[in-house]
Amino acid sequence: MARSLLVSEEKLVPRSIQEMSMDDDEPPSQYLVKGNSFGSKEDSSILIPIPIIDVSLLSSQSELEKLRSALSSAGCFQAIGHGMSTSYLDKVREIAKQFFALPVEEKQKYARAPNESEGYGNDRVVSENQVLDWSYRLTLRVFPKEKRRLALWPENPSDFSETLEEFSSKVKSMMDYLLKSMARSLNLKEGSFLDQFGKQSLLQARVNFYPRCSRPDLVLGVKPHTDRSGITTLLQDKEVEGLQVLIDDKWVNVPTIPDALVVNLGDQMQIMSNGIFKSPMHRVVTNTKKLRMSIAIFNEPEPENDIGPVEGLINETRPRLYRNVNNYGDINYRCYQEGKIALETVKIAD
Ligand SMILES: O=C(O)CCC(=O)C(=O)O
Ligand SMILES: [Fe+2]
């Protein structure tokens, strides 16, 4: 075990973000982003719009072409036509808000243990000089069902578990269909990506809360990162923006569209697509006025599965870019601790 894991999280986070947010405190130095190695500061959303894909039209060649193009440039899109109504999505947002509104002692019943990823709390601290995220999250494994840690599933609001399970299943069905469509968009067999995920693929839900922050110029809700998943679906706050994606070296706002779900690829799909599809760098900015929430559903292949570039995407002009890997989640976590970029470590040298 790396020594850095022994850092006491309490010592690093003396006051809760919620308290600091209510009192408009100046954020302590651990939260201040030092320098910015990625992207420009100006808002490029007008010049670079986030693509919108209608899932119900993906049987048509033209929508498939839009999907292929979105994933090979931005690596993400806003999905509409997915069959979940605005009122249904509002209900899902509501259970998250109700949980967050509970008294601290009540939420602490589901606290994440140090060095674990599931449960309620701040981001996991892996080193003393880590810049902390201005957020709280509740992380829960939803599938495979036998691997759920039910002691961490909130009993309040009473319909929390049932609603999260139903939403996760619906999102999983949509993502399975998207994975098949992605394969078709590259003239591959439908199961080329989906089969690599396996029947027991992991589905993790993360409910994110971003309290107001007095210094959005210095503090981020989530630091720049790519997802370790294969594919991620995000239900954004209905009103409050904050998610930004790095496209062409510019941070682009992902606008809130009440009935859209943001879909982005994770590193494991960049590997399987031999680099044709992108796992985009993204971050969350803070704001002085309103709490923001979001619910992310991450789907990743069974950890034991060997995943790698699909044969049909390797040829003389596009040689194999990545080696086969399993347990990418662990590779990613080790790299995070060591300040390395996980995708780079599985790349085949020229
Ligand atoms: O809250 C968001 O919009 C994005 C959160 C995110 O990127 C993550 O949880 O990996
Ligand atoms: Fe993310």
In whole angstroms, what is the distance from residue 222 CA to residue 199 CA? 31
- Give yes or no for residue 208 CB within 6 A of ligand 1: yes
Residue 292 CA: which ligand 1 atom is closest? Answer: 1
Q: What percent of the chain shows pLDDT beyond 70?
A: 93
Measured from the CB, is residue 63 less than 6 Å from ligand 1? Answer: no
Q: Domain segments of the chain: what residues? A: 2-346
Which fold is adopted by the domain 2-346? Jelly Rolls (2.60.120)
With a cut of 90, say whether residue 16 has pLDDT above it.
no
Examine the pLDDT at 322 and tell me if it is beyond 90: yes
Task: Point out the ligand 1 atom lying closest to the alpha carbon of residue 282.
Answer: 7
- pLDDT of 192 higher than 80: yes
Worst-scoring range by mean pLDDT, 118-127, 135-144, 147-156, 192-201?
118-127
Say whether pLDDT at 43 is over 70. no
How much is the pLDDT for 15? 80
243 lines ligand 1 (CB under 6 A): yes
pLDDT at site 36: 57
pTM value surpassing 0.90:
yes
For 249-272, the pLDDT digits (tens) are 899 999 999 999 999 999 999 999
Provide mean pLDDT across the span 18-23.
Answer: 87
Residue labelled with tokens 């949509």: 174
